[in-house]
Structure formats: structure tokens, C-alpha cells
Amino acid sequence: MMNGMDGMDDSRPTNFAVELHSGSVEVSADLVHRSDAWAALAIAHGAGAGYRHPFLTGFSRGLADEGVATLRFNFPYLEAGRRMPGPAAHAVATWAAAEAAAAQHGLPVWAAGKSYGGRMASMAAAEGRIAPAGLIYLGYPLHPPGDPAKARTAHLPDVAPPQLFVEGSNDPFIQPIEQLEAAVAACRDAEILWIDGGGHSFEVKGRKRPADEIGAELAPLVAAWMRRRS
């Protein structure tokens, strides 16, 4: 899958197997590869949107411009047509399979996810199921909106690779902001990249933009962090 002239994009649908306790399942994915890529980033979707959501396709396209190959993929529950996420163990197993699929291209593998997909990546890393070069959370769901007592942070200090929390300052999933800052400070190696005025999907009030454009605008910021941490 590394064909083409230097700098040319090679985008194609693919799939890979995920081993669950109930047996092996196939999940759909899209590979966007540059022949001169310097890194590969596996990207998971949020709880309610699949791997071809415009935000993720725009993000992937923007990363291609930065020389980063991407593998966007579905979780099994969505692949089966269900709306609600399945057991966390299924998502962790999917992340392990996605990392292995991305590693086939001989590049350093990183992990990223929108909301739920990022949280599942952090759980997989905390359990030692994946060991990416770094993890990027696009709107980490620190807690359900309006319920900061239900923080999803206990495992984060167990994550060994560097972590980047890309967060909108108006995201209801991380209010109060001080709670997120404390969680990040408790991590081994983590930092926050603030998107001023951004909501959970990085939308900014009074500035209407398509989701793919929003995703594409985040790509250079993420790629810069990846380069710095490589």
C-alpha cells in the first residue's frame, strides 16, 4: 500500500479482523497513505459517529498534507449497525488490532480518537494492549456533561506514552476546566492544546464552519506536536 510517486496520496477502503471472546469480526477502515509519510496515525471515531464522519475525513486529509498516513476505523458495535457502544473490552481489542494494522506500513504508529474513541485508546494503553508513540485525544470526555463527579480519569496515570489533550475551552464534557488540568497534571507525560471557544466538536459559537474544515484545521497543530515528540 505504499505505491505512487513521492508525496502522492494513496487513499483506499480496507478492513481488518478483531478478535473478540465471541469470535473474530471484521471492521471497516480507510487508509490514507503518503509515499513520503513519516508517521502513521490510527484514528477512532466518537460514540455516535463512524469512521467516515466529515470531521474525521477532514482531519485525515489535513494530516496527509502534513506527511502523516492515517487509518480510520469502525468499532464492532457500529460495524454491526448498533448505536450504543459495546463492552469496553471490545473497544480495547479493536484498538490492539488497529495498531497492528497501522504498523504493517513500517512507520512509527500513533493513536488518536474523537471523544469515546480517544478514551478507549487511553484505556488500551493503560492496560498495555497498545504502545503507540503517543496518543492524541480530540475532545476527551472527562465526564458526562454536567456530572463532574463521574470523572473518567483513574487510568490515565497508567498511560506510559506521551498524551496530547486537544480540548475546546467551552466543551461541556470538561467543565470545570480545573478538573481536566488536575487530571493531566497527574499523568506521566501529558499536555493540553486549547482551542479557544471550542465546544466538544470544536465548533465555535458565531463562527459556523463545516465539520470537515474544522477537522482539517486541527491537523497541522497535531502534526506539529507529533514531530516535536518524535
For 200-221, write each residue's pLDDT tens digit. 999 999 999 999 999 999 999 9
- Residue 170: inside a domain: yes
pLDDT digits (tens, 9 = 90+) for 83-122: 999 999 999 999 999 999 999 989 999 999 999 999 999 9
Using alpha carbons, select from 201, 151, 202 the residue that is nearest to residue 176.
151
SS3 75: coil
Q: What is the largest CA-CA distance in the chain?
A: 52
Give me the pLDDT at residue 5, please: 31
Q: Is residue 2 part of a domain?
A: no
Q: Does 72 map to a domain?
A: yes
Across the range 139-162, mean pLDDT stands at: 97
- C-beta atoms surrounding 17 within 10 Å: 12
- Contact assessment for residue 2 and residue 35, using Cβ atoms and an 8 Å cutoff: yes
User: pLDDT exceeding 70 applies to what percent of the chain?
Assistant: 96
| Residue 108: per-residue pLDDT | 98
Taking alpha carbons only, the member of 41, 163, 59 closest to residue 105 is 41
Say if 202 falls within a structural domain: yes
Please list, in sequence order, all residues whose beta carbon lies within 8 angstroms of the beta carbon of residue 203, skipping any fewer than 6 positions away.
168, 209, 214
pTM of the predicted protein model: 0.94
Q: Where does the chain have alpha helices with state H?
A: 54-65, 76-79, 88-103, 116-126, 177-185, 211-229
CB neighbours (10 Å) of residue 33?
A: 23
Region 25-35: mean pLDDT is 94
Spatial neighbors of 87 by CB under 8 A, at least 6 apart, are: none
What pLDDT is attached to residue 153?
Answer: 96
**Total structural domains in the chain?**
1
Task: List CB contacts of 81: < 8 A, sequence separation 6 or more.
Answer: none
| 55-81 pLDDT, tens digit each | 999 999 999 999 999 999 999 999 999
Find the CATH number of the domain harbouring 92: 3.40.50.1820
Q: Does residue 62 sit within a domain?
A: yes
95, 109 contact by CB (below 8 A): no
Sign, Cα dihedral of 113, 117, 123, 124: negative
Looking at every residue in the chain, the average pLDDT score rounds to 94
In a domain, 1, yes or no: no
Cβ count within 10 A of residue 99: 22
> What band does 6 get if pLDDT is binned at 50, 70 and 90?
very low
pLDDT the model gives residue 3: 31
Domain limits at 101? 9-229
Radius of gyration of the chain (CA): 16
3 occurs within a structural domain? no
Q: What is the mean pLDDT of residues 182-193?
A: 98
What is the pLDDT at residue 7? Answer: 52
Q: Is residue 4 part of a domain?
A: no
The whole-number pLDDT of residue 11 equals 80
